[in-house]
Chains A and B, each alone.
Chain A
Amino acid sequence: MVQKPDQLTNRTDNAIRSNMRKRIFLCTPLMASVLTGCVQVTAPDKPIVINLNIAIRQEILYKLSAASEKVIENNPGVF
């Protein structure tokens, strides 16, 4: 037997709905106490650093040819 949702919930005595309301009513203080225990927001002790420069731009690499040569030539001790 297939019943429409209305037939399950819209009963004359509204039994299911009233039951659900009671449960929600009872659970609300409990949930509130659980949630306050779980959600803790603390400020980080270090500044948040977002590095936006990780991506390598291919067209820039082509332009750095002379610069990379210069860097190597001018700093023989570190290369």
Chain B
Amino acid sequence: MRDSVEMIIAALLLGVTATSAMAFQSGRDPAYQSARESGQVGEKSDGYLGFVVPPSSSVRALVEDINIKRKAVYSKEALANGATVEEMALRTGCRLIAERMVAGEKYQTPSGQWKTRDGSAPELDPRCPR
């Protein structure tokens, strides 16, 4: 009985996670989503997007626009928490790489190398909280 209750709870949690992940992805611009999926752009450890390969002008414009918007939300949240923009950005970058990215997307390791996110633990910035 107890086992089956735990199973149901686990199934529900999984469902919630999957739903939130789908909702999370649907908020993206389709061009941005495809640039992520195709590995043209990736997450840097500093909380901003970077170019894995030399970008086309449209991808460059897209990424720069997103990075400006990211900086704006980091600034706002940093101010509310008595942190600097860099600290807020780095902390969010840690979370994005560790928890939010899906397999196949690119991220930058602390040494500057681009790696593909897979099932294994990513190489995070040493300052990321463990």
> Chain A residues in contact with chain B, CB under 8 A?
53-54, 56-58, 60-65, 67-72, 74-79
Bin chain B's interface residue count. Answer: 20 to 34
19 contacts between A and B (CB under 8 A): A54-B86, A56-B127, A58-B127, A60-B81, A60-B82, A60-B83, A61-B129, A63-B83, A64-B92, A67-B81, A68-B77, A71-B74, A72-B96, A75-B69, A76-B28, A77-B69, A78-B66, A79-B24, A79-B70
Q: Which residues of B contact A (CB under 8 A)?
A: 23-24, 26-29, 66, 69-70, 73-74, 77, 80-88, 90-92, 94-96, 100, 127-129
Docked CA distance A79–B45 (Å): 13
Query: Smallest CB–CB gap between A58 and chain B, Å?
Result: 6
